[in-house]
Structure 1
Amino acid sequence: MEQSQTPSNEPVQEDSRLQRILNKVEIWGNKLPDPAVLFILLLAIVWALSWALSGIDFNVVDPRTGDALQINNQFSGSSLTQLTSTMVNNFSHFHPVGVVLVAMLGIGVAEYSGFINAGLRALLSVTKTWLLTPMIILIGIISHSAVDAGYVLVIPLGGVIFYAAGRHPLAGIAAAFAGVSGGFSANFLPSALDPMLQGISQVGAQILDPSVVLNPLNNIFFTGASTLVIVFLGWFITDKVVEPKLQSNKLDGDLSDLPSMEPLSDAERSALRWALFSIVASIVFLIGTASLEGSPWADSEGSLTSGAAPIMKSIVPLIFLMFLIPGLVYGAVIGSIRNSKQFVEGMSKAMQGMGYYLVIMFFIAQFIYAFGQSNLGVLLAVKGAEFLKEMALPGGVTITGIILLTGLINLFVGSASAKWALLAPIFVPMLMQLGISPDLAQAAYRIGDSSTNIITPLMPYFPLVVVFCQRYVTNTGIGTLTSMMLPFSVSFLIVWTLFLMVYWTIGIPLGIQATYEYVAP
């Protein structure tokens, strides 16, 4: 495949209304403080709001405990001392920090040795440029099966692949981010999210009907079909809206170590074959040990897919090894890693670029802790759900309202499971009383939860994507990334909701043993 020096799509008109809106979003977004400072300000806002609302009786029941909901004043002396006493643990135990750093250690060796460079050049040599966008989005969607791996693997590779193909790298990052995060609930492969949400939905349903039992794959047919919607819609948005706009964002980062489209040499081909063989051997070993009776990868009941199974808890370390091993093999064969000093240097180089990310993560961790302790998010979720219930709208309109409310709440509460744990005890019984099944309620939640992931700086991986963009365009800020992702978010929210309505109208099964209607026993 020949390297193209200009994007293959035609630029949209510069004076189009959409482009003017996105330009204003970028300008105003980039006027926000640095992400680290932004989260300091948000922490102060949490303190102020929790202090102002702490003495008010909202007449709301906390769905997690059944007790009256109280806003906890985070500006009190006891709360502030509690924050300082847990500050280190808040940061060191903050899930995205460990996921990113451990995975980046392995990726660092693979990049340092030249394995990733050679692998991408080999991939691009057999892939048409016009197919890169859907390929990256699809890979991002599939990456959900490996929990949060897509954020640290697929998104940066999207930029590298687009750059090597002569396209704007930020468009590749946008396409990958849309697949990994915007299409978080679109996947034809089962993932850990399926049983997690199903379990919460079942608990919510049993509040009204203790006999309800849901299948862990109760949405698998719908999420599988949604994959096509996200891939084709994301493809159109990337090539026709986002990439043309990005032509004004000139590349000024350090691009010296990024791959070009030069053909692989014989030595590189040989090293790449050995590295790929090591990957195959590692996968065979993993499958073999996982298939054994009484496998150490299984939980106490012999399941490999439960959240308690060691193999599910080892996804990130396995990713680390799946890059480390072929990186070392490639480096040993080609000669780029000949001693332990070079091996450690590869990891060290990867960590050097993570300093800014760690600073941001420190303040995000403190903000999320205080926000969770304050109960402000719970109040927002419960009040929003009560508003929908009081409206007493038809089923289809109510489902649309749940999608929109979930999307709004998602701007403030990032965790998919935490949000559903708050909303399911309200939404699921409420909809069951309207004759709507828990399976359909869960599908609606997943649309709202996914669609707005990509436009909220409060999502823990959002600053990481900003860092990835700054590798190519150094002045990339919150506004730049938000304006890039806004067309995806709005399109996903509208089209995916309409798709659910059509899917529901036709009566295609949502998943295994799933229904659309709930009939009381």
Structure 2
Amino acid sequence: MLLVSLCETLCTVKQSEVGVSSASVSKRSLSIRFLDKVERVGNKLPDPAMLFFGGLLLVWLLSWVLSTISFAEIDPRTSEALVINNLLTGARLADFLSSMVTTFTSFAPLGVVLVAMLGVGVAEHSGFINAGLKLMLKVTPKQLLTPSIILVAIVSHTATDAGYVLVIPLAGVIFYAAGRHPLAGIAAAFAGVSGGFSANFIPSAIDPLLQSFTQSAARIIDPAIQINPLNNWYFAAASSFLIIAIGWFLTDKVVEPRLKNNVVDGDPEDIPKFEEITSVEHKAFKVASMVMIAGCLLLWAVSAPESSPLRAENGSLADFSAPLMQSIVPLIFLLFVFPGVTFGLMTGTFKSSHDIVQAMTKAMNGMSYYIVMAFFCALFIAAFSQSNIGALMALKGAAALQALALPSSVTIVGLVFLVAFVNLFVGSASAKWALIGPILVPMLMQLNISPDLSQAAYRVGDSSSNIITPLMPYFPLVVVYCQRYVKSTGIGTLMSMMLPYSICMLVLWTAFLLIYWGLGIPLGIQASYTYGL
């Protein structure tokens, strides 16, 4: 009931519905008008590429102004006073020009997206994905389509950024095939992949990554403390049910009804056609699926032995340093190329190697707009990081929260909201925690709050605002996915779609953490809520 009452304030219903009072309609109309206003204002912003370029100029200007000020904050990365670097010096500008190409080519999301899309493009244009979706829609009840998409999106975290390049675009295709609005499918998947980033049934590489920063921060107070990498696993698994419930309700009752005026007007060649699957396609899909399964089994056979070259030095497959984790994108490429080629050859879609290359070319044609945006995005993010402005914002916020000296539960809520705000400007989960963790974790330990609980609160805030910040590297990519169906989609369109998810996740997930804490349910393996000084 709490979920329904909160979410209904963000949506409207048809005024002709029986039993709805005029006051209720007025209130709901106000909320829907607010989202419409967000969309209109957002879409009046410059093109995303120019927005990042303007942000770059603003960072340069701020770095010049702030570099003249001495700050008392200590940078935990260097243990020295934080200094804002002036990016308008001759040396810095020369470095900017000389490194512009490498800044762009080393932009992590660019390679992830393009390599993965090469493989997906072969599978898509051969008809393999199309056939799989037809068969899936036959066995998936329409009413369970939304939660199924969100569940897959949440589980995709295990494969690092795979959700952004696979689950989100496929969700749009699946919804469109089911006769539903494709942008609603994209929104649901985006909410699961990015908004629910810290919710997962399966441990992922983010767990040991955050644990390492938490443990380092905790050792400022207790040099001997040991924190388990899965100290938030139980909470993350339980949170998955909450994220699915929030996403399911909002997608079906709020987001999709509001999208009825967004007419699907994308290029016919880009929008998949769904016809009844033929016997030839059915047979080809079975064979291609066997090829994919064989590839997965081969991967398992190679990675299972303790001496596998795909394991990290400590023997873990889930560690960020493990070759397996670093090979996720190439593996996605291979696991889609081989089944796609098999399907294409059996159905006649591919008659020669030229057709396979053409399929990859078509996939890259759709990514041209994203490549332009990624160029300016890479330059902006690099400048923002080099200036230390993001670090200053995080440290100032953490110091302000510390100075308030609030009760433990209120401090935890303050931590969640602080992180959600800083996340609008500093997207990297590890970078933010590396900055504010050394301040907040020791502070909360002195309030008898364990590092495990502090990390759980951090993860709630970090996830909730991912989906409404254009500065998140994959945000422009999701805009491109939407434009495939609705050409007029802009930043405002996506932000207005995702804002209800973000607000509900931030409020309800925080409440869920407090209730979880109050009930004393274990956060994870070897985790606690209190720290004894």
TM-score by length of 1: 0.96
Q: Is residue 2:440 matched to residue 1:439?
A: no
- Pairing 1:100-249 to 2, within 5 Å after superposition: 100-249=113-262
Give a deviation string over 1:340-376, Cα, whole Å, max 9, x none.
Answer: 1011111111001111101100111111111111110
What CA distance in whole angstroms lies between the structure 1 residues aligned with 2:212 and 2:306? 27
What CA distance in whole angstroms lies between the structure 2 residues aligned with 1:465 and 1:315? 20
* Matched-pair contact (CA < 8 Å) for 1:297–1:310: yes
- Pairing 1:77-476 to 2, within 5 Å after superposition: 77-256=90-269, 258-476=271-489
Q: Is residue 2:60 matched to residue 1:47?
A: yes
CA shift for structure 1 position 446? 0.4
Structure 1 320/23 Cα, relative in aligned 2: closer, same or farther at 3 Å?
Answer: same
The aligned amino acid for 1:12 is: V
Give a deviation string over 1:271-305, Cα, whole Å, max 9, x none.
Answer: 00001101111111111111234212123343322
* Matched-pair contact (CA < 8 Å) for 2:158–2:203: yes
What CA distance in whole angstroms lies between the structure 2 residues aligned with 1:259 and 1:307? 36
Select between 297-306 and 160-169 the one with higher mean Cα deviation: 297-306
Structure 1 334/11 Cα, relative in aligned 2: closer, same or farther at 3 Å?
Answer: farther
- Pairing 1:15-34 to 2, within 5 Å after superposition: 16-34=29-47
The aligned amino acid for 1:515 is: S
What CA distance in whole angstroms lies between the structure 2 residues aligned with 1:302 and 1:418? 26
Select between 206-215 and 221-230 the one with higher mean Cα deviation: 206-215
The aligned amino acid for 1:223 is: A
What CA distance in whole angstroms lies between the structure 1 residues aligned with 2:501 and 2:329? 28
CA shift for structure 1 position 83? 1.0
Which position in structure 1 is the counterpart of 2:6? Answer: none
CA shift for structure 1 position 259? 4.1
What CA distance in whole angstroms lies between the structure 2 residues aligned with 1:317 and 1:299? 18
* Matched-pair identity in %: 60
Q: Is residue 2:521 matched to residue 1:508?
A: yes
* Matched-pair contact (CA < 8 Å) for 1:165–1:261: no
What CA distance in whole angstroms lies between the structure 2 residues aligned with 1:504 and 1:305? 28
* Matched-pair contact (CA < 8 Å) for 2:200–2:236: yes
What CA distance in whole angstroms lies between the structure 2 residues aligned with 1:244 and 1:293? 51
Which position in structure 2 is the counterpart of 1:3? Answer: none
What CA distance in whole angstroms lies between the structure 2 residues aligned with 1:348 and 1:263? 27
What CA distance in whole angstroms lies between the structure 2 residues aligned with 1:292 and 1:80? 50
The aligned amino acid for 1:455 is: I
* Matched-pair contact (CA < 8 Å) for 1:381–1:409: yes
* Matched-pair contact (CA < 8 Å) for 1:121–1:260: no
Which position in structure 2 is the counterpart of 1:12? Answer: 13
Aligned to 1:30, the other structure's residue is in SS state helix
Which position in structure 1 is the counterpart of 2:75? Answer: 62
CA shift for structure 1 position 419? 1.0
CA shift for structure 1 position 465? 0.4
Q: Pick from 38, 42, 46 the counterpart of residue 51 of structure 2.
A: 38
Structure 1 252/226 Cα, relative in aligned 2: closer, same or farther at 3 Å?
Answer: same
The aligned amino acid for 2:230 is: L
* Matched-pair contact (CA < 8 Å) for 1:137–1:176: yes
Please list every run of 5 or more consecutive structure 1 residues that lacks an aligned counterpart in the other structure: 1-9
The aligned amino acid for 1:53 is: L
Structure 1 52/318 Cα, relative in aligned 2: closer, same or farther at 3 Å?
Answer: same
Give a deviation string over 1:173-204, Cα, whole Å, max 9, x none.
Answer: 00000000000000010100000000110001
* Matched-pair contact (CA < 8 Å) for 2:153–2:163: yes
Select between 257-266 and 123-132 the one with higher mean Cα deviation: 257-266
* Matched-pair contact (CA < 8 Å) for 1:436–1:518: yes
Aligned to 1:247, the other structure's residue is in SS state helix
The aligned amino acid for 1:60 is: E
CA shift for structure 1 position 335? 1.4
What CA distance in whole angstroms lies between the structure 2 residues aligned with 1:320 and 1:227? 28
CA shift for structure 1 position 95? 0.4
Give a deviation string over 1:427-466, Cα, whole Å, max 9, x none.
Answer: 1111111110110000000000000000000000000000
* Matched-pair contact (CA < 8 Å) for 2:195–2:467: yes
CA shift for structure 1 position 258? 3.9
Give a deviation string over 1:21-73, Cα, whole Å, max 9, x none.
Answer: 10000000111000000011111110111111111112111111110111111
* Matched-pair contact (CA < 8 Å) for 1:103–1:152: yes
RMSD of Structure 2 on Structure 1 (CA): 1.2
* Matched-pair contact (CA < 8 Å) for 1:121–1:259: no
CA shift for structure 1 position 486? 0.2
* Matched-pair contact (CA < 8 Å) for 2:12–2:32: no
* Matched-pair contact (CA < 8 Å) for 1:113–1:336: yes
TM-score by length of 2: 0.94
The aligned amino acid for 1:309 is: A
* Matched-pair contact (CA < 8 Å) for 2:163–2:193: yes
Which position in structure 2 is the counterpart of 1:7? Answer: none
Aligned to 2:70, the other structure's residue is in SS state coil
Aligned to 2:83, the other structure's residue is in SS state coil
Structure 1 273/414 Cα, relative in aligned 2: closer, same or farther at 3 Å?
Answer: same
What CA distance in whole angstroms lies between the structure 2 residues aligned with 1:68 and 1:517? 31
What CA distance in whole angstroms lies between the structure 2 residues aligned with 1:199 and 1:185? 16
CA shift for structure 1 position 138? 0.7
Structure 1 225/156 Cα, relative in aligned 2: closer, same or farther at 3 Å?
Answer: same
* Matched-pair contact (CA < 8 Å) for 1:466–1:481: yes
Number of equivalenced pairs = 511
Structure 1 11/52 Cα, relative in aligned 2: closer, same or farther at 3 Å?
Answer: closer
What CA distance in whole angstroms lies between the structure 1 residues aligned with 2:392 and 2:13? 43
CA shift for structure 1 position 84? 1.0
* Matched-pair contact (CA < 8 Å) for 1:117–1:258: no
CA shift for structure 1 position 260? 4.7
What CA distance in whole angstroms lies between the structure 1 residues aligned with 2:268 and 2:167? 18
* Matched-pair contact (CA < 8 Å) for 1:222–1:511: yes
